[in-house]
Structure 1
Protein backbone atom coordinates (compact mmCIF):
# COMPACT_ATOMS: atom_id res chain seq x y z
CA UNK A 1 0.00 0.00 0.00
CA UNK A 2 1.22 3.47 -0.91
CA UNK A 3 0.29 6.26 1.51
CA UNK A 4 0.63 9.95 0.64
CA UNK A 5 1.09 12.41 3.52
CA UNK A 6 0.21 16.07 3.99
CA UNK A 7 -0.84 18.27 6.87
CA UNK A 8 -1.82 21.88 7.51
CA UNK A 9 -3.43 22.36 4.12
CA UNK A 10 -5.31 25.50 5.27
CA UNK A 11 -7.69 25.50 2.32
CA UNK A 12 -9.03 29.00 2.91
CA UNK A 13 -5.52 30.43 2.99
CA UNK A 14 -5.20 29.42 -0.67
CA UNK A 15 -8.69 29.57 -2.11
CA UNK A 16 -10.61 32.03 0.08
CA UNK A 17 -14.28 32.11 -0.96
CA UNK A 18 -13.59 31.10 -4.56
CA UNK A 19 -12.56 27.57 -5.29
CA UNK A 20 -13.49 26.27 -8.69
CA UNK A 21 -12.57 22.64 -9.18
CA UNK A 22 -10.12 23.45 -11.99
CA UNK A 23 -8.27 25.89 -9.74
CA UNK A 24 -8.09 23.41 -6.85
CA UNK A 25 -6.85 20.56 -9.03
CA UNK A 26 -4.33 22.78 -10.81
CA UNK A 27 -2.94 23.90 -7.45
CA UNK A 28 -2.60 20.39 -6.02
CA UNK A 29 -1.18 18.99 -9.26
CA UNK A 30 2.06 20.85 -8.50
CA UNK A 31 2.31 18.95 -5.18
CA UNK A 32 0.72 15.61 -6.03
CA UNK A 33 1.30 13.57 -9.16
CA UNK A 34 -2.39 13.07 -9.87
CA UNK A 35 -1.58 10.33 -12.36
CA UNK A 36 0.34 8.38 -9.74
CA UNK A 37 -1.36 8.92 -6.40
CA UNK A 38 -1.16 6.57 -3.46
CA UNK A 39 -3.97 4.33 -2.27
CA UNK A 40 -4.51 6.58 0.75
CA UNK A 41 -4.03 10.29 1.38
CA UNK A 42 -3.49 11.22 5.03
CA UNK A 43 -4.13 14.82 6.04
CA UNK A 44 -2.96 15.39 9.61
CA UNK A 45 -5.20 18.31 10.53
CA UNK A 46 -5.76 22.01 9.89
CA UNK A 47 -8.07 21.72 6.92
CA UNK A 48 -9.38 25.27 7.18
CA UNK A 49 -11.77 27.66 8.87
CA UNK A 50 -14.90 26.88 6.85
CA UNK A 51 -16.58 23.47 7.06
CA UNK A 52 -18.41 23.72 3.75
CA UNK A 53 -15.27 24.68 1.88
CA UNK A 54 -13.29 21.93 3.59
CA UNK A 55 -15.77 19.26 2.53
CA UNK A 56 -16.07 20.50 -1.06
CA UNK A 57 -12.29 20.58 -1.58
CA UNK A 58 -11.79 17.19 0.06
CA UNK A 59 -14.35 15.74 -2.35
CA UNK A 60 -12.44 17.21 -5.30
CA UNK A 61 -9.17 15.68 -4.15
CA UNK A 62 -10.88 12.39 -3.28
CA UNK A 63 -11.56 11.74 -6.97
CA UNK A 64 -7.84 10.88 -7.26
CA UNK A 65 -7.67 8.62 -4.19
CA UNK A 66 -9.42 5.48 -3.05
CA UNK A 67 -9.33 6.77 0.52
CA UNK A 68 -8.70 9.99 2.43
CA UNK A 69 -8.02 9.73 6.16
CA UNK A 70 -7.74 12.85 8.27
CA UNK A 71 -7.81 14.21 11.78
CA UNK A 72 -8.63 17.78 12.74
CA UNK A 73 -6.24 20.46 13.95
CA UNK A 74 -6.42 23.52 16.15
CA UNK A 75 -7.53 25.75 13.25
CA UNK A 76 -10.44 23.39 12.61
CA UNK A 77 -11.72 24.37 16.07
CA UNK A 78 -11.64 28.10 15.30
CA UNK A 79 -14.86 30.07 15.21
CA UNK A 80 -13.97 32.95 12.93
CA UNK A 81 -16.40 35.23 11.14
CA UNK A 82 -20.10 35.83 11.65
CA UNK A 83 -21.21 32.69 9.83
CA UNK A 84 -19.37 30.24 12.09
CA UNK A 85 -20.46 32.06 15.22
CA UNK A 86 -24.08 31.88 14.08
CA UNK A 87 -23.90 28.23 13.09
CA UNK A 88 -22.12 26.85 16.15
CA UNK A 89 -22.43 27.56 19.85
CA UNK A 90 -18.81 26.53 20.48
CA UNK A 91 -15.78 24.96 18.82
CA UNK A 92 -16.78 21.41 19.72
CA UNK A 93 -20.04 21.75 17.85
CA UNK A 94 -18.12 22.88 14.78
CA UNK A 95 -15.65 19.96 14.79
CA UNK A 96 -18.45 17.45 15.46
CA UNK A 97 -20.31 18.78 12.44
CA UNK A 98 -17.21 18.55 10.24
CA UNK A 99 -16.42 15.00 11.35
CA UNK A 100 -19.98 13.95 10.63
CA UNK A 101 -19.83 15.40 7.10
CA UNK A 102 -16.46 13.82 6.31
CA UNK A 103 -17.43 10.40 7.64
CA UNK A 104 -20.64 10.45 5.64
CA UNK A 105 -18.69 10.43 2.36
CA UNK A 106 -17.65 7.16 0.77
CA UNK A 107 -13.95 6.43 1.31
CA UNK A 108 -13.39 9.45 3.57
CA UNK A 109 -12.65 9.12 7.27
CA UNK A 110 -12.09 11.61 10.08
CA UNK A 111 -10.61 9.67 12.97
CA UNK A 112 -11.75 10.45 16.49
CA UNK A 113 -10.27 7.82 18.77
CA UNK A 114 -11.16 4.97 16.43
CA UNK A 115 -9.45 2.62 13.98
CA UNK A 116 -10.21 1.79 10.38
CA UNK A 117 -8.64 -1.09 8.50
CA UNK A 118 -7.79 -0.84 4.80
CA UNK A 119 -6.12 -3.72 2.95
CA UNK A 120 -5.03 -5.18 6.28
CA UNK A 121 -3.43 -1.93 7.52
CA UNK A 122 -4.93 -0.42 10.67
CA UNK A 123 -5.09 3.37 10.84
CA UNK A 124 -5.83 4.89 14.23
CA UNK A 125 -5.89 8.43 15.45
CA UNK A 126 -7.56 11.50 16.82
CA UNK A 127 -6.93 15.23 16.81
CA UNK A 128 -4.57 15.06 19.79
CA UNK A 129 -3.49 18.23 21.56
CA UNK A 130 -0.56 19.83 23.33
CA UNK A 131 0.21 19.63 27.04
CA UNK A 132 2.98 20.87 29.32
CA UNK A 133 5.27 17.99 28.32
CA UNK A 134 7.87 20.17 26.61
CA UNK A 135 8.23 22.29 29.75
CA UNK A 136 8.48 19.31 32.10
CA UNK A 137 10.92 17.38 29.89
CA UNK A 138 13.25 20.26 29.08
CA UNK A 139 12.97 22.44 32.21
CA UNK A 140 12.62 19.81 34.96
CA UNK A 141 13.87 22.08 37.75
CA UNK A 142 11.47 24.91 37.04
CA UNK A 143 7.82 25.30 37.97
CA UNK A 144 5.21 26.35 35.45
CA UNK A 145 1.87 27.09 37.17
CA UNK A 146 -1.08 26.73 34.84
CA UNK A 147 -1.87 30.43 35.23
CA UNK A 148 1.51 31.44 33.82
CA UNK A 149 1.36 28.81 31.06
CA UNK A 150 -2.11 30.05 30.13
CA UNK A 151 -0.70 33.57 29.89
CA UNK A 152 2.11 32.39 27.63
CA UNK A 153 -0.46 30.51 25.56
CA UNK A 154 -2.51 33.67 25.18
CA UNK A 155 0.57 35.66 24.16
CA UNK A 156 1.99 33.10 21.72
CA UNK A 157 -0.93 31.55 19.88
CA UNK A 158 -4.34 32.66 18.58
CA UNK A 159 -5.87 29.41 19.86
CA UNK A 160 -6.95 31.11 23.08
CA UNK A 161 -8.79 33.78 21.08
CA UNK A 162 -10.62 31.67 18.50
CA UNK A 163 -11.34 28.37 20.28
CA UNK A 164 -14.57 28.57 22.28
CA UNK A 165 -15.58 26.15 25.01
CA UNK A 166 -12.28 25.75 26.88
CA UNK A 167 -10.58 27.62 29.72
CA UNK A 168 -7.03 26.25 29.86
CA UNK A 169 -4.40 25.57 27.21
CA UNK A 170 -4.48 21.82 27.82
CA UNK A 171 -8.22 21.23 28.30
CA UNK A 172 -8.54 19.55 24.92
CA UNK A 173 -5.54 17.31 25.68
CA UNK A 174 -7.52 15.87 28.60
CA UNK A 175 -10.25 14.90 26.15
CA UNK A 176 -7.91 13.63 23.44
CA UNK A 177 -5.75 11.61 25.81
CA UNK A 178 -8.54 9.06 26.28
CA UNK A 179 -8.88 8.73 22.50
CA UNK A 180 -5.14 8.10 22.11
CA UNK A 181 -5.31 5.48 24.85
CA UNK A 182 -8.11 3.74 22.96
CA UNK A 183 -6.13 3.15 19.77
CA UNK A 184 -2.35 3.44 20.15
CA UNK A 185 -1.74 -0.23 20.94
CA UNK A 186 -3.85 -1.52 18.07
CA UNK A 187 -2.88 0.47 14.96
CA UNK A 188 -0.11 0.21 12.38
CA UNK A 189 -0.30 3.92 11.48
CA UNK A 190 -1.11 6.51 14.14
CA UNK A 191 -2.31 10.01 13.20
CA UNK A 192 -2.60 13.13 15.35
CA UNK A 193 -2.33 16.80 14.58
CA UNK A 194 0.26 17.30 17.32
CA UNK A 195 3.86 16.06 17.53
CA UNK A 196 3.99 13.11 20.00
CA UNK A 197 7.49 13.93 21.27
CA UNK A 198 8.51 16.70 23.65
CA UNK A 199 12.23 16.16 23.18
CA UNK A 200 14.13 19.17 21.84
CA UNK A 201 15.79 17.16 19.11
CA UNK A 202 12.35 16.36 17.69
CA UNK A 203 11.43 20.05 17.35
CA UNK A 204 12.65 22.28 14.52
CA UNK A 205 16.06 23.64 15.55
CA UNK A 206 14.97 27.28 15.59
CA UNK A 207 12.38 26.55 18.29
CA UNK A 208 14.26 24.07 20.45
CA UNK A 209 15.01 26.59 23.20
CA UNK A 210 11.66 28.35 23.10
CA UNK A 211 9.28 27.45 25.96
CA UNK A 212 6.31 28.19 23.69
CA UNK A 213 7.17 24.96 21.85
CA UNK A 214 5.02 23.34 24.54
CA UNK A 215 2.06 24.41 22.38
CA UNK A 216 3.38 22.35 19.47
CA UNK A 217 3.85 18.93 21.06
CA UNK A 218 2.85 16.61 23.87
CA UNK A 219 4.80 14.10 25.91
CA UNK A 220 3.89 10.89 24.09
CA UNK A 221 6.95 8.88 25.13
CA UNK A 222 4.75 6.16 26.65
CA UNK A 223 2.71 5.81 23.47
CA UNK A 224 5.75 5.65 21.21
CA UNK A 225 7.43 3.10 23.47
CA UNK A 226 4.48 0.83 24.18
CA UNK A 227 2.40 1.23 21.02
CA UNK A 228 2.11 -1.10 18.06
CA UNK A 229 2.39 1.58 15.37
CA UNK A 230 5.20 1.62 12.84
CA UNK A 231 4.45 5.19 11.72
CA UNK A 232 3.12 8.25 13.52
CA UNK A 233 1.91 11.00 11.19
CA UNK A 234 1.42 14.49 12.61
CA UNK A 235 1.20 18.15 11.65
CA UNK A 236 0.75 21.53 13.39
CA UNK A 237 4.37 22.58 12.91
CA UNK A 238 4.80 24.17 9.51
CA UNK A 239 8.31 22.76 9.34
CA UNK A 240 9.03 19.41 7.75
CA UNK A 241 10.08 17.05 10.53
CA UNK A 242 11.09 13.39 10.47
CA UNK A 243 12.58 11.33 13.28
CA UNK A 244 12.54 7.79 14.63
CA UNK A 245 11.76 7.11 18.27
CA UNK A 246 11.37 3.60 19.74
CA UNK A 247 11.36 2.21 16.18
CA UNK A 248 8.42 4.43 15.24
CA UNK A 249 8.97 6.61 12.17
CA UNK A 250 7.40 9.99 12.93
CA UNK A 251 6.58 12.24 9.97
CA UNK A 252 5.32 15.79 9.60
CA UNK A 253 4.93 16.96 5.99
CA UNK A 254 3.07 20.29 6.05
CA UNK A 255 1.81 22.51 3.29
CA UNK A 256 1.50 25.52 5.61
CA UNK A 257 0.46 29.01 4.55
CA UNK A 258 0.91 30.25 0.98
CA UNK A 259 3.88 32.47 1.90
CA UNK A 260 5.62 29.50 3.54
CA UNK A 261 5.02 27.12 0.66
CA UNK A 262 5.67 29.48 -2.24
CA UNK A 263 1.99 29.03 -3.03
CA UNK A 264 2.61 25.30 -3.20
CA UNK A 265 5.77 25.39 -5.31
CA UNK A 266 8.19 24.67 -2.46
CA UNK A 267 6.34 21.66 -1.05
CA UNK A 268 6.72 18.05 -2.14
CA UNK A 269 4.50 15.15 -1.24
CA UNK A 270 5.80 12.57 1.21
CA UNK A 271 4.90 8.97 0.46
CA UNK A 272 5.51 5.74 2.35
CA UNK A 273 4.86 2.13 1.41
CA UNK A 274 3.64 -0.49 3.84
Structure 2
Protein backbone atom coordinates (compact mmCIF):
# COMPACT_ATOMS: atom_id res chain seq x y z
CA UNK A 1 0.00 0.00 0.00
CA UNK A 2 1.40 3.38 -1.04
CA UNK A 3 0.75 6.41 1.11
CA UNK A 4 1.86 9.99 1.47
CA UNK A 5 1.51 12.35 4.42
CA UNK A 6 -0.28 15.66 4.08
CA UNK A 7 -0.33 19.00 5.84
CA UNK A 8 -0.90 22.64 4.90
CA UNK A 9 -1.21 26.07 6.46
CA UNK A 10 1.59 25.51 8.93
CA UNK A 11 2.17 29.25 9.51
CA UNK A 12 5.41 28.34 11.22
CA UNK A 13 6.23 31.71 12.80
CA UNK A 14 3.02 31.54 14.85
CA UNK A 15 4.24 28.29 16.43
CA UNK A 16 7.97 29.03 16.54
CA UNK A 17 9.02 32.70 16.84
CA UNK A 18 11.45 33.90 14.20
CA UNK A 19 14.69 34.75 16.03
CA UNK A 20 18.28 35.51 15.03
CA UNK A 21 19.69 32.54 16.96
CA UNK A 22 19.55 29.98 14.15
CA UNK A 23 20.67 27.01 16.23
CA UNK A 24 18.02 27.65 18.85
CA UNK A 25 15.35 28.13 16.21
CA UNK A 26 16.43 24.92 14.46
CA UNK A 27 16.10 22.98 17.71
CA UNK A 28 12.64 24.44 18.35
CA UNK A 29 11.52 23.57 14.83
CA UNK A 30 12.79 20.00 15.22
CA UNK A 31 10.75 19.59 18.40
CA UNK A 32 7.68 21.12 16.77
CA UNK A 33 7.88 18.70 13.85
CA UNK A 34 8.43 15.73 16.15
CA UNK A 35 5.13 16.62 17.84
CA UNK A 36 3.03 16.75 14.66
CA UNK A 37 4.29 13.58 12.96
CA UNK A 38 1.96 10.62 12.47
CA UNK A 39 2.87 7.42 14.26
CA UNK A 40 4.34 5.89 11.10
CA UNK A 41 5.47 8.55 8.63
CA UNK A 42 5.23 7.76 4.92
CA UNK A 43 8.16 8.19 2.54
CA UNK A 44 6.55 11.23 0.93
CA UNK A 45 5.32 14.45 2.54
CA UNK A 46 3.05 16.90 0.70
CA UNK A 47 2.67 20.47 2.00
CA UNK A 48 -0.23 22.29 0.31
CA UNK A 49 1.04 25.82 0.89
CA UNK A 50 1.42 28.44 3.62
CA UNK A 51 4.69 27.33 5.15
CA UNK A 52 5.38 30.69 6.78
CA UNK A 53 6.40 34.33 6.45
CA UNK A 54 10.19 33.86 6.53
CA UNK A 55 12.13 31.91 3.92
CA UNK A 56 15.02 31.25 6.32
CA UNK A 57 12.65 29.65 8.80
CA UNK A 58 10.84 27.69 6.10
CA UNK A 59 14.12 26.23 4.85
CA UNK A 60 14.97 25.07 8.36
CA UNK A 61 11.56 23.40 8.54
CA UNK A 62 11.91 21.64 5.18
CA UNK A 63 15.36 20.42 6.21
CA UNK A 64 13.93 19.18 9.50
CA UNK A 65 11.15 17.27 7.73
CA UNK A 66 13.83 15.48 5.72
CA UNK A 67 14.91 13.72 8.92
CA UNK A 68 11.79 11.59 8.44
CA UNK A 69 10.75 11.91 4.80
CA UNK A 70 12.63 10.78 1.73
CA UNK A 71 10.67 13.26 -0.38
CA UNK A 72 9.13 16.60 0.63
CA UNK A 73 6.91 18.28 -1.97
CA UNK A 74 5.35 21.69 -1.43
CA UNK A 75 3.45 24.39 -3.22
CA UNK A 76 3.14 28.06 -2.40
CA UNK A 77 0.29 29.64 -0.45
CA UNK A 78 -0.60 33.29 -0.19
CA UNK A 79 1.34 33.67 3.08
CA UNK A 80 4.46 32.37 1.34
CA UNK A 81 4.31 35.56 -0.72
CA UNK A 82 3.84 37.96 2.21
CA UNK A 83 6.39 40.66 2.87
CA UNK A 84 5.51 41.75 6.37
CA UNK A 85 8.31 44.24 7.05
CA UNK A 86 10.13 47.06 5.32
CA UNK A 87 13.28 44.92 5.44
CA UNK A 88 11.57 42.18 3.45
CA UNK A 89 10.17 44.66 0.92
CA UNK A 90 13.65 46.07 0.43
CA UNK A 91 15.26 42.63 0.22
CA UNK A 92 12.81 41.43 -2.44
CA UNK A 93 12.59 44.73 -4.33
CA UNK A 94 8.90 45.19 -3.54
CA UNK A 95 7.96 42.06 -5.47
CA UNK A 96 6.53 39.00 -3.73
CA UNK A 97 7.44 36.80 -6.68
CA UNK A 98 11.10 37.48 -5.85
CA UNK A 99 10.47 36.03 -2.40
CA UNK A 100 8.94 32.83 -3.80
CA UNK A 101 11.76 32.63 -6.34
CA UNK A 102 14.34 32.74 -3.56
CA UNK A 103 12.40 30.06 -1.71
CA UNK A 104 12.37 27.79 -4.77
CA UNK A 105 16.09 28.27 -5.27
CA UNK A 106 17.04 27.43 -1.68
CA UNK A 107 14.56 24.56 -1.41
CA UNK A 108 15.96 22.98 -4.57
CA UNK A 109 19.36 22.85 -2.86
CA UNK A 110 17.99 20.46 -0.22
CA UNK A 111 18.18 16.85 -1.47
CA UNK A 112 14.72 15.32 -1.69
CA UNK A 113 12.81 18.63 -1.52
CA UNK A 114 10.81 19.70 -4.58
CA UNK A 115 8.62 22.80 -5.08
CA UNK A 116 5.48 22.21 -7.16
CA UNK A 117 4.96 25.37 -9.20
CA UNK A 118 3.64 23.99 -12.46
CA UNK A 119 5.92 20.98 -12.06
CA UNK A 120 5.54 17.20 -11.89
CA UNK A 121 7.31 14.71 -9.65
CA UNK A 122 6.99 10.95 -10.12
CA UNK A 123 7.76 8.75 -7.11
CA UNK A 124 7.34 4.98 -7.34
CA UNK A 125 4.85 5.24 -10.17
CA UNK A 126 2.75 7.97 -8.53
CA UNK A 127 2.81 11.38 -10.21
CA UNK A 128 2.44 14.48 -8.05
CA UNK A 129 1.91 17.91 -9.55
CA UNK A 130 0.49 21.26 -8.74
CA UNK A 131 0.74 24.98 -8.24
CA UNK A 132 -0.48 27.42 -5.63
CA UNK A 133 -3.54 28.56 -7.64
CA UNK A 134 -5.47 31.68 -6.70
CA UNK A 135 -9.04 32.67 -5.98
CA UNK A 136 -11.26 33.98 -8.78
CA UNK A 137 -14.23 35.46 -6.86
CA UNK A 138 -16.49 32.76 -8.35
CA UNK A 139 -18.18 31.96 -5.04
CA UNK A 140 -19.53 35.48 -4.64
CA UNK A 141 -20.49 35.75 -8.30
CA UNK A 142 -22.23 32.38 -8.56
CA UNK A 143 -23.65 31.91 -5.07
CA UNK A 144 -24.35 35.47 -3.93
CA UNK A 145 -24.98 37.26 -7.24
CA UNK A 146 -22.28 39.86 -6.61
CA UNK A 147 -20.26 41.57 -9.31
CA UNK A 148 -16.54 41.07 -9.65
CA UNK A 149 -15.99 44.81 -9.16
CA UNK A 150 -17.89 44.80 -5.88
CA UNK A 151 -16.00 41.75 -4.66
CA UNK A 152 -12.69 43.34 -5.59
CA UNK A 153 -13.55 46.40 -3.51
CA UNK A 154 -14.41 44.11 -0.59
CA UNK A 155 -11.09 42.29 -1.05
CA UNK A 156 -9.18 45.57 -0.87
CA UNK A 157 -10.95 46.52 2.37
CA UNK A 158 -10.78 43.21 4.22
CA UNK A 159 -7.91 40.93 3.14
CA UNK A 160 -4.33 41.03 4.37
CA UNK A 161 -3.22 39.87 0.93
CA UNK A 162 -3.70 43.39 -0.40
CA UNK A 163 -1.34 44.79 2.26
CA UNK A 164 1.43 42.19 2.25
CA UNK A 165 1.56 40.80 -1.30
CA UNK A 166 3.06 43.06 -3.95
CA UNK A 167 2.59 41.81 -7.51
CA UNK A 168 0.21 39.03 -6.52
CA UNK A 169 -0.28 35.95 -8.71
CA UNK A 170 -2.67 36.24 -11.63
CA UNK A 171 -5.38 33.59 -11.66
CA UNK A 172 -5.04 32.80 -15.37
CA UNK A 173 -1.28 32.30 -15.04
CA UNK A 174 -1.79 29.92 -12.13
CA UNK A 175 -4.44 28.06 -14.12
CA UNK A 176 -1.97 27.68 -16.98
CA UNK A 177 0.47 26.03 -14.57
CA UNK A 178 -2.26 23.68 -13.39
CA UNK A 179 -3.13 22.82 -17.00
CA UNK A 180 0.50 21.84 -17.66
CA UNK A 181 0.45 19.10 -15.04
CA UNK A 182 -3.17 18.14 -14.45
CA UNK A 183 -3.70 15.23 -16.83
CA UNK A 184 -0.53 13.44 -15.75
CA UNK A 185 -1.18 13.79 -12.02
CA UNK A 186 -2.37 11.07 -9.70
CA UNK A 187 -2.08 13.57 -6.84
CA UNK A 188 -2.95 17.23 -7.48
CA UNK A 189 -1.65 19.81 -5.00
CA UNK A 190 -2.94 23.38 -4.82
CA UNK A 191 -3.16 25.81 -1.94
CA UNK A 192 -6.50 27.31 -2.93
CA UNK A 193 -9.27 24.73 -3.12
CA UNK A 194 -11.36 24.01 -6.24
CA UNK A 195 -14.72 23.40 -4.56
CA UNK A 196 -16.81 25.18 -1.93
CA UNK A 197 -19.62 22.63 -1.56
CA UNK A 198 -18.37 21.62 1.90
CA UNK A 199 -17.89 25.13 3.25
CA UNK A 200 -19.10 25.55 6.83
CA UNK A 201 -22.68 26.78 7.09
CA UNK A 202 -21.67 30.07 8.73
CA UNK A 203 -19.58 30.98 5.67
CA UNK A 204 -22.20 30.09 3.03
CA UNK A 205 -23.54 33.64 2.86
CA UNK A 206 -20.28 35.41 3.62
CA UNK A 207 -18.83 37.12 0.52
CA UNK A 208 -15.33 36.81 2.00
CA UNK A 209 -15.57 33.10 1.18
CA UNK A 210 -14.95 34.30 -2.41
CA UNK A 211 -11.29 34.78 -1.48
CA UNK A 212 -10.76 31.18 -0.35
CA UNK A 213 -11.78 29.09 -3.38
CA UNK A 214 -11.77 29.03 -7.15
CA UNK A 215 -14.30 27.42 -9.47
CA UNK A 216 -12.60 24.14 -10.26
CA UNK A 217 -15.65 22.42 -11.73
CA UNK A 218 -14.08 21.99 -15.17
CA UNK A 219 -11.05 20.35 -13.56
CA UNK A 220 -13.04 18.15 -11.21
CA UNK A 221 -15.03 16.81 -14.15
CA UNK A 222 -11.73 15.38 -15.44
CA UNK A 223 -10.37 14.27 -12.06
CA UNK A 224 -11.92 10.85 -11.49
CA UNK A 225 -9.46 8.64 -9.62
CA UNK A 226 -7.24 11.53 -8.56
CA UNK A 227 -6.49 12.85 -5.08
CA UNK A 228 -6.65 16.64 -4.78
CA UNK A 229 -4.82 18.13 -1.79
CA UNK A 230 -5.54 21.73 -0.86
CA UNK A 231 -5.49 24.18 2.05
CA UNK A 232 -6.06 27.93 2.55
CA UNK A 233 -9.19 27.33 4.61
CA UNK A 234 -8.27 26.05 8.05
CA UNK A 235 -11.16 23.59 8.02
CA UNK A 236 -10.07 20.01 7.56
CA UNK A 237 -12.06 17.99 5.03
CA UNK A 238 -11.93 14.64 3.26
CA UNK A 239 -14.68 13.99 0.72
CA UNK A 240 -15.27 13.03 -2.92
CA UNK A 241 -16.70 14.82 -5.95
CA UNK A 242 -16.94 13.30 -9.43
CA UNK A 243 -14.80 10.40 -8.24
CA UNK A 244 -12.01 12.73 -7.08
CA UNK A 245 -10.97 12.66 -3.43
CA UNK A 246 -10.43 16.15 -1.98
CA UNK A 247 -8.40 16.40 1.22
CA UNK A 248 -7.57 19.40 3.40
CA UNK A 249 -5.40 18.79 6.45
CA UNK A 250 -4.64 22.35 7.50
CA UNK A 251 -2.67 22.79 10.70
CA UNK A 252 -3.71 26.43 11.11
CA UNK A 253 -2.87 28.77 13.95
CA UNK A 254 -2.17 27.53 17.50
CA UNK A 255 -5.55 28.70 18.81
CA UNK A 256 -7.41 26.84 16.04
CA UNK A 257 -6.10 23.28 15.92
CA UNK A 258 -3.63 22.88 18.80
CA UNK A 259 -3.48 19.07 18.67
CA UNK A 260 -3.42 18.54 14.90
CA UNK A 261 -1.00 16.20 13.20
CA UNK A 262 -0.05 15.18 9.71
CA UNK A 263 -2.34 12.56 8.18
CA UNK A 264 -1.41 9.65 5.94
CA UNK A 265 -3.34 9.35 2.67
CA UNK A 266 -3.63 5.98 0.96
CA UNK A 267 -3.17 6.07 -2.81
CA UNK A 268 -5.63 3.90 -4.71
CA UNK A 269 -4.79 4.03 -8.41
CA UNK A 270 -7.68 3.39 -10.79
> Matched residues in 2 for 1:133 and 1:9: separation?
26
**Structure 1 partner of 2:81:** 77
Q: Deviations over 1:217-269 (max 9, x none)?
A: 0000111111365100001001112221111100110111111122xxx2132
**Structure 2 partner of 1:189:** 187
> Matched residues in 1 for 2:209 and 2:119: separation?
28
**Structure 1 partner of 2:129:** 124
Counterparts of 1:113-262 in structure 2, within 5 Å, are 113-139=118-144, 142-146=145-149, 148-166=150-168, 172-198=170-196, 201-227=197-223, 230-262=226-258
Q: 1:41·1:65 contact (CA, 8 Å) conserved in 2?
A: yes
User: Residues 229 and 80 of structure 1: is their aligned pair in 2 closer, same or farther, counting only changes over 3 Å?
Assistant: farther
> Matched residues in 1 for 2:231 and 2:225: separation?
17
Deviation at 1:26, TM superposition (A): 2.2
Q: 2:52·2:58 contact (CA, 8 Å) conserved in 1?
A: yes
Deviation at 1:143, TM superposition (A): 4.3
User: Residues 127 and 229 of structure 1: is their aligned pair in 2 closer, same or farther, counting only changes over 3 Å?
Assistant: farther
TM-score, normalised by the number of residues in structure 2: 0.91
> Matched residues in 2 for 1:188 and 1:97: separation?
28
Aligned pairs, number:
261
The alignment partner of 1:226 has SS state of coil
> Matched residues in 2 for 1:137 and 1:249: separation?
23
Q: 1:197·1:220 contact (CA, 8 Å) conserved in 2?
A: yes
Q: 1:187·1:228 contact (CA, 8 Å) conserved in 2?
A: no
Counterparts of 1:18-29 in structure 2, within 5 Å, are 18=19, 19-29=24-34
Q: 2:41·2:264 contact (CA, 8 Å) conserved in 1?
A: no
TM-score, normalised by the number of residues in structure 1: 0.90
> Matched residues in 1 for 2:37 and 2:45: separation?
10
Residue in structure 2 matching 1:52, options 48, 53, 56: 56
> Matched residues in 1 for 2:140 and 2:202: separation?
16
Residue in structure 2 matching 1:93, options 88, 91, 98: 98
Deviation at 1:55, TM superposition (A): 0.5
